[in-house]
Amino acid sequence: MPKDIDSIAKKLGARVVGTVPDYSAGAFGVAILAKTLRDRLEPGRGKRPGRPSNRRWTKRSKVPMAKETEARLKRLARMLSDEDRQVTPMQVAGQLLEETTATYFVRPSRGKSQRRRA
């Protein structure tokens, strides 16, 4: 979304009344998630680089979940993987957790959203 969305709306004689989440269910949401993971997951370094990871992820936590959730994450990981890059279910979970928890700190202000630091 352009940063000057309010000025664009004003020029069109409209006003911004809300925001759209970064991810949603469906083909477009999965496509955005795939692009985000492709952009953020970097190959490891060294003689045996291992799987790509997000450099900002410094914490390796175990997250309890239902078997159904694990199955959905595995399915998403298969959908987001290709022959060049394999995405793991926990990489999908990590990205979704980052994006989703950030939305809890968004404060609407006259049609704009501003993220507060947690």
The pLDDT of residue 67: 95
SS3 assignment, position 109: strand
Residue 15 DSSP label = -
Task: Please indicate, yes or no, if residue 48 is contained in any of the structural domains.
Answer: no
Is residue 15 over pLDDT 90?
Answer: no
The pLDDT of residue 73: 95
Is residue 94 over pLDDT 60?
Answer: yes
The pLDDT of residue 68: 96
CA distance 14 to 108: 17
Task: Please indicate, yes or no, if residue 49 is contained in any of the structural domains.
Answer: no
Task: Please indicate, yes or no, if residue 34 is contained in any of the structural domains.
Answer: yes
Task: Please indicate, yes or no, if residue 88 is contained in any of the structural domains.
Answer: yes
Is residue 106 over pLDDT 80?
Answer: no
Task: Please indicate, yes or no, if residue 99 is contained in any of the structural domains.
Answer: yes
The pLDDT of residue 51: 66
Is residue 95 over pLDDT 80?
Answer: yes
The secondary element (H helix, E strand) that includes residue 76 is helix 67-80
The pLDDT of residue 81: 86
Half-sphere exposure in the Cβ direction for 42 (13 Å, CA): 7
CA distance 21 to 104: 11
Structural domains counted in the chain: 1
DSSP bridge partners of 115: 106
Is residue 42 over pLDDT 80?
Answer: no
Task: Please indicate, yes or no, if residue 78 is contained in any of the structural domains.
Answer: yes
